Chain A
Amino acid sequence: MSAPLQQKTMNLKLKIWRQKNSSLPGKLVDYDARDVSPDMSFLEMFDVLNERLIREGEEPIAFDHDCREGICGMCSMYINGRAHGPLGGVTTCQLHMRSFKDGDTIVVEPWRAKAFPVVKDLVVDRGAFDRIMHAGGFVSVKTGGVPDANCIPISKPIADIAMDAAACIGCGACVAACKNASAMLFVSAKVSQLALLPQGQVERKDRVEKMVAQMNAEAFGGCTNTGACSAECPKLIGQEHIARLNREYIKAKVGSHTV
């Protein structure tokens, strides 16, 4: 099956970060992408390029990807100086080549953050996010012995805001976009979700203290409220969650038993 005839293909110049592993230095390498269909996704353009590299005896470019529908959070390309590329509210896998034009030069880098060391080429290690979650990103309930679901009524507006926060896919675009590589938006999304819901109340203070402590123990920078994180978040998680995180943290610290 071929693309409709009226669509023209494009030729593009790519500058892509290549790095053998975490200990060796990397550099931008030039590639040509020829006959790119505007209906291709950005990652499909990479697939075609990689197929060609393999046929030409070169090693393909390593990059993280999985669901290719914008929900797993695995893909992570810094495209022309923007996390997930030029569009707002989408991940790299949802970016299509119709957002570029013939003759464009596209620079592709991995997430740039000390807390996310490069593993190879465009693949980075986001284990720091998991470790923040291990520290407190949960409600401590065991399987079984919980009340009937409708015993916990939650007002729809509150449930909706909690859902907005819970939509975070943990991709790390917020960190990559921030000049300080701060993880505040990521942490605020989980703190916010659970602070809003009745299920999160028992551990409310403890949770924010532990998650922030772990965030500080990782190599993330501080938040200076520039808002770059929300601007680049593919799930449009807003600054109000950072405000809520700050409020939660101050309240927890004022009454903390772990000072």
Chain B
Amino acid sequence: MKLESKVPEGPLAEKWTHHKATMKLVNPANKRKYEIIVVGTGLAGASAASSLAELGYRVKAFCIQDSPRRAHSIAAQGGINAAKNYPNDGDSVWRLFYDTIKGGDYRAREGNVHRLAEVSSSIIDQCVAQGVPFAREYGGLLDNRSFGGAQVSRTFYARGQTGQQLLLGAYSALCRQIGLGTVKMYPRMEMLDLVVADGAARGIVTRDLTTGKIESHAAHAVLLCTGGYGNVFFLSTNAQNSNATAVWRAHKRGALFANPCFTQIHPTCIPVSGDHQSKLTLMSESLRNDGRVWVPKKVGDTRNPNEIPEDERDYYLERKYPSFGNLVPRDVASRNAKEECDAGKGVGASGKAVYLDFAEPLKRLGKNAIVEKYGNLFDMYKQITGENPYTVPMRIYPAIHYTMGGLWVDYNLMTTVPGCFALGEANFSDHGANRLGASALMQGLADGYFIIPYTIGNYLANLGMAPVNAKHPAFAEAEKNIAESEKQLLGINGKQTVTHFHRELGKILWEYCGMARNETGLKKAKTLIPQLREEFWKNVNVPGEDADLNQSLERAGRVADFLELGELMVDDALQRTESCGCHFREESQTPEHEALRDDDHFAHAAAWEYAGAGKPEIRNTEELNFEFVKLSQRSYK
């Protein structure tokens, strides 16, 4: 398949302006003739649904939670980037663009990333106008802090709850539209199929999670804003119900899936404590503004950390990366933590942790300043571990956090299925092979507030205004397939729970397709995953009924999809024999153990095409043309 990025020609800084000026418009009176479905109500979905309804489109929004306010965007802690340059420290649209392209290890489109940097400032303005209580200085103006991969302070924040406050802002805008009757909200509803007919997306089929009822919904366009697939690893920082079902089923209906092996491992999470563990908790990257990462110099040093003298500690990030220090990008920080632990210097009962120490900033800034900046994070750490981080250094270890891969979209955010768009973490577009901290919130809101309202008009204007309905036989067929698949899952009556299979899949992926990957391991995973999938369909036990609230059935469908997606991730990791960003192929590293790219062969996005059940997927590529930045070995030294 030929992939057309549709990035406009012309100078980098004028592409988006020019595109906006030349796209077709839908006149205000005609907008109400179009129906748009938005699946997911996180930052991308809530901002898109409210913005499109404000313009006059008729919107239906769906979420799996009991309220749109609970989408997983709410858990983002640290902040949101914007090129405001309020601190006067040399920031600009170009610098945010450059940091993001470089941070992504040159595996994202220049045009998309520049547009993201361009609209970043408007996002902050929008959120403030909604009443989002960002942190302020005593003069009343907005405060900023620093995040990894940048040498300027461009991150806006609301204590350690920035995602919550931004989501509640978008949710409030959505509530206003629901109240006005322009958005019809469907909570506790899960999208189980994308309906494609006559070459375009025509709607979706959903399951009412309370009653089990399967329903069809027709629309002129479908927006998938359903987040990432990090939960494929079982243990991740994602919410328990985050899943890939909507994007995976769209993929099976023709939407290409790009760079599935690009999965971000966040360096600062609370380590695993036991087999019962259901999720991993992130400690915001903002902690690396002040916290210092170290391990004992001596292998197997089990002394209490406060008893280890300064000269017997290795502040390895500060030592190896003097210019960025503790604020190196996430992939670099994670890999270094793994390296230290693999060398036997890990701390804590499991030996799979490093220290994040606040003794020095507590002395320098005083406890009050630390409480002010990080109080809720310290409380959360204490609650989970039973240890007091004001007196004992935190123990942290990397965990799966975010997925840069996702549905392939063009510059207009449209997938390879006409009329089906993907926004936010659900798409692959802006972060390349590694996302910088505080950029996920920026991208989700950029897509929803400032990009889709323009690009969707261009699609709809070309589509015509014929009303839509769910009478096409493709809807009935999709409904029938879903009902049959549910009956099949409920009828297996095997001996293992859904969670068992999910946990086993997670172990395979973490071991062979996690922080470091090699050919032998990936090939092993490629035999193990199909075996596990086969066993799942023979031996899973899904209790209960289909016409009921049935959380086991919900999970079974999602894990069945993860068992397919997991294999595609391994395929993608196997084929990309270079290292880049988060994707570290042990065969491709510099003498200093940094990721070594192979630009001659892999300066492209790999977009996988579903070829039918049981058939290998087809690997398509979109070449990434770098006209404005020079590709170089990423260095944070």
Contact = CB atoms under 8 A, between A and B. Distances in A.
B62 to A, nearest CB: 14
Given A43-B278, A150-B141, A159-B135, A166 B175 contact: no
B552 A67 contact: no
A69 B54 contact: no
A233 interface: no
B29 interface: no
Given A119-B549, A141-B130, A70 B175 contact: no
Contacts of B317: none
Interface centre among A133, A143, A148 (most CB of B within 10 A): A143
Place the interface of chain A in its size category: 35 or more
A67 B75 contact: yes
A252 B416 CA distance: 53
B128 A152 contact: yes
Nearest to B238: A67
Contact of A130 (B67, B75, B133, B500): B67
Contact of B173 (A39, A120, A138, A162): A138
Contacts of B122: 144
B179 interface: yes
A212 B42 CA distance: 27
Contacts of A123: 549
B51 A44 contact: no
A257 interface: no
A205 to B, nearest CB: 16
Contacts, number: 228
A153 B140 contact: yes
A147 interface: yes
Nearest to A54: B497
Interface string A55-99: 101111010111111111110000000000000011000101010
> Do most interface residues of chain A lie in helix, strand or loop, or is the interface mixed?
loop
Given A120-B549, A129-B67, A143 B276 contact: no
Interface in A103-151: 119-120, 123, 125-127, 129-130, 133-144, 146-150
A42 B453 CA distance: 43
A180 interface: no
Nearest to A52: B497
Interface stretch (B157-165, B300-308, B458-466, B512-520): B157-165
B237 to A, nearest CB: 8
A148 B163 CA distance: 21
Contacts of A194: 131
Interface centre among B47, B172, B277 (most CB of A within 10 A): B172
B125 A68 contact: no
Interface string B101-144: 00000000000000000000010111111111111111111100
A63 to B, nearest CB: 8
A250 interface: no
A64 B350 CA distance: 31
A74 B125 contact: no
A126 B67 contact: yes
B125 A147 contact: yes
A71 B74 contact: yes
B19 interface: no
A68 B279 contact: yes
A155 B549 contact: no
B125 A149 contact: yes
A166 B168 contact: yes
B30 interface: no
A143 B47 contact: yes
A62 to B, nearest CB: 6
B136 A154 contact: yes
Given A54-B541, A66-B72, A143-B50, A3 B380 contact: no
A148 B125 CA distance: 5
A154 B531 CA distance: 59
Interface string B244-268: 0000000000000000000000000
A206 B488 CA distance: 53
A40 B274 contact: yes
Contact of B54 (A4, A43, A143, A162): A143
Contacts of B281: 68-69
Given A135-B179, A150-B86, A59 B543 contact: yes
Given A66-B239, A150-B141, A159-B133, A199 B173 contact: no
B133 A44 contact: no
A83 to B, nearest CB: 17
Nearest to B272: A1
Contacts of A142: 51, 54
A40 B385 CA distance: 10
Given A51-B497, A138-B130, A146-B129, A90 B70 contact: no
A143 B450 contact: yes
B84 A149 contact: yes
A143 B173 contact: yes
Given A72-B72, A119-B549, A156 B137 contact: yes
A167 interface: yes
B130 A44 contact: no
B273 A39 contact: yes
A133 B278 contact: no
A199 B384 contact: no
A45 B136 CA distance: 41
A96 B384 contact: yes
A217 interface: no
Given A133-B175, A143-B51, A199-B128, A72 B278 contact: no
Given A68-B240, A71-B161, A134-B178, A166 B133 contact: yes
A193 interface: yes
A66 B139 contact: no
B44 to A, nearest CB: 13
16 contacts: A4-B349, A37-B274, A43-B278, A47-B278, A51-B499, A66-B239, A67-B239, A69-B282, A94-B384, A126-B66, A137-B172, A138-B173, A141-B173, A153-B136, A197-B133, A199-B129
Given A1-B350, A3-B273, 11 more contacts: A40-B274, A68-B281, A70-B383, A72-B75, A135-B179, A141-B173, A152-B129, A153-B140, A155-B140, A169-B164, A193-B133
**Which 6 residue pairs across A and B have the least CB separation, nearest first?**
A153-B140, A138-B172, A146-B129, A134-B179, A149-B128, A163-B133
